[in-house]
Structure 1
Amino acid sequence: MTSTEDTTSNDSPKGAPAGTQTLSRGLAILECVADGISDVKGISAAIGKPRSTVHRMLGNLVAEGYLHHVPYSGYLIGPKLIRLGMVGLEQRPLVALAKPHLEELARKTNDTVHLAELDGATLFYLSKIPGRRGLEMRSRIGKRMPAASTGVGKGLMLGLPKSTWKGLYEQACAFSAQSDERPQLAPWSVFEEGMDEYVREGFSLDFEENELGIRCVGAPVFDVRGEAVAGVSIASAVPYMPEERMRSLGPVVRATADAISAELGWTPKE
């Protein structure tokens, strides 16, 4: 990214090397576009900089391949950022170590396989292997969702302290309330009772709580400290996921999660 912006503004960190301000502005613009702010006016307002400055930096980012401009529509993430993002995911130890186990689970079941972690209080999808049944679902790598409303998120939650469940549940309820088209979670007492049962069984079940017509089975992944760091799930349409099959697949999903955990240095408690 090239620019003749001055680099000595008061919003630069004291003692920062030349170019820090320009870099920070460029990164802020990229984050705006990633969050869906795609026009010069909106980006200018979001980062508090003049439109002329924003327009010039957008031009640089497009020229370098970090952004893509669609006339009359706005700016989108460009091919260079997409490539870097995919490489970054592949280089993460968790994703790299989990990949062969996820592929084997997908091969065994023919269902869609997910790997996700918590980023703050939000579930972040790290990997998705589509099933072989020709089904499409809303999940995708990089998508963020409330943990308590997804099968993979509930699987992860089984390894978290029970004291964290209520907050994650309330976050999911608030998210679902934003649209009449989204499934609504069961009352807290029912949800909590179900989670207690899933902890005893070692895997979670999702009966269309995130996406109508889709059922999931999930389990937690632990690291060397014994802390839950991710969730693994399989998902498919209701006709392929009667409750009997879901429960029979529970130990299979849990075995995959345990195998990934072992790769991270986890050992089961005696």
Structure 2
Amino acid sequence: MDDTQTFDGPKAPGAERSERVTAHSTDAGTKGLVGSDRVLAVLKELARHPDGVGLEELTRVIASPKPTVHRALQSLRRAGLADQDVRGRYLLGDEFLRMAFAHHEARPEHVRVRPVLEALAERFQETVHYAVLDGREVVYRAKVDPPTGAVRLTSTVGGRNPAHATGVGKLLLAHELTTLGEVEEWIGESILERRTPRTCCTAAELHQEFESVRERGYAVDDQENEAGVNCLALPLYATSATVPSGAVSVSALTYRTPLSSLIDAYDEIRSLLGPSGGPIR
């Protein structure tokens, strides 16, 4: 599965109750911030607290004097980008949310992708994601849950996961890293996180996997990101005829939809993607 978040409903046999979320702490890299950088750091921290956050905690995380953080908050409030609830806690403002959702809904790729995701979710009764590559991670731009069903993945638009451990990530990396040397350079001196015993973490493993992806036109996540969850990912050419704009994945609980069932349905999934789908060349 590509979006390792928790899922709602009864626990599946052999499946984990919850899935890991890639956390992004703002503790690192905030020291020494000045001016507008500090305001942006406060804004990003607010996004991590949908129930609001107090001034004391913001001051600690941003690592700046309380009066300075308070001034940043007041600037954001005047612009409608932050607000304060009855408890005195700060949270993102309605104007920020309006702009974010309006921008997201108006993106050309989102307009084109949404009907495809809805068709796939209805056909397979599983969660479908659209994700793009951002460095070493994938970012989920859209998600559609199945219309019915007791168990649904609670992944969120904007969530992130390590690219090497996900179907969408491996699909998009296979398009960019075509030689063993390129894979080795991409990894560099980093130690890739092994999410499960099945996660590919070495250059040799990933290179072999990428070659398979290019040959067959799709990528799989065989419980590599989370035990009990798998997915099939295909490229989507929403904005270019030659370079994938991102990847679409059908993500499923293994007890309910085995990976073999998703692979058997590859041709059908490919046809539902229409002209925007297709194997990597």
- TM-score using structure 1 length: 0.72
1:115, 1:50 → 2: CA distance? 40
The structural deviation recorded for 1:169 is: 6.4
Identity of aligned residues (%): 24
User: What's the secondary structure of 2:91's corresponding residue?
Assistant: strand
**Which letter maps to 1:144?**
R
Say which structure is richer in helix: 1
CA pair 68-256 structure 1, distance change in 2 beyond 3 A: farther
Q: CA RMSD in A?
A: 3.6
Asked if residue 174 in structure 1 is aligned to residue 188 in structure 2, the reply is: no
Tell me which residue corresponds to 2:6: none
User: What's the secondary structure of 1:115's corresponding residue?
Assistant: strand
Tell me which residue corresponds to 2:30: none
Q: Summarize deviations over 1:69-97 as a string: whole Å, max 9, x none.
A: 46889533343323322221111111111
2:190, 2:89 → 1: CA distance? 31
Contact 1:66 1:78 survives alignment (8 Å): yes
Q: Which has the higher contact order (CA 8 A, sep 6+)?
A: 2
Q: Summarize deviations over 1:150-207 as a string: whole Å, max 9, x none.
A: 222223233323245456668996344xxxxx42413533443233222211111111
Q: Which runs of 5+ in 1 are unaligned?
A: 1-10, 13-20, 177-181
CA pair 32-127 structure 1, distance change in 2 beyond 3 A: same
Contact 2:139 2:159 survives alignment (8 Å): yes
2:118, 2:166 → 1: CA distance? 21
CA pair 209-33 structure 1, distance change in 2 beyond 3 A: same
Contact 1:202 1:254 survives alignment (8 Å): no
Asked if residue 245 in structure 1 is aligned to residue 258 in structure 2, the reply is: no
**Number of residue equivalences:** 241
2:42 to 29, 41, 50: 29
CA pair 24-173 structure 1, distance change in 2 beyond 3 A: closer
2:83, 2:221 → 1: CA distance? 38
Tell me which residue corresponds to 1:220: 235
Tell me which residue corresponds to 2:162: 146
CA pair 246-231 structure 1, distance change in 2 beyond 3 A: same
Q: Which runs of 5+ in 2 are unaligned?
A: 1-32
- TM-score using structure 2 length: 0.69
Contact 2:137 2:163 survives alignment (8 Å): yes
Residue range with higher mean Cα deviation, 57-66 or 124-133? 57-66
Query: Larger Cα Rg: Structure 1 or Structure 2?
Result: 1
The structural deviation recorded for 1:55 is: 1.3
2:56, 2:47 → 1: CA distance? 16
Asked if residue 98 in structure 1 is aligned to residue 113 in structure 2, the reply is: yes
**Which letter maps to 1:53?**
T
CA pair 59-27 structure 1, distance change in 2 beyond 3 A: same
Contact 1:128 1:141 survives alignment (8 Å): yes
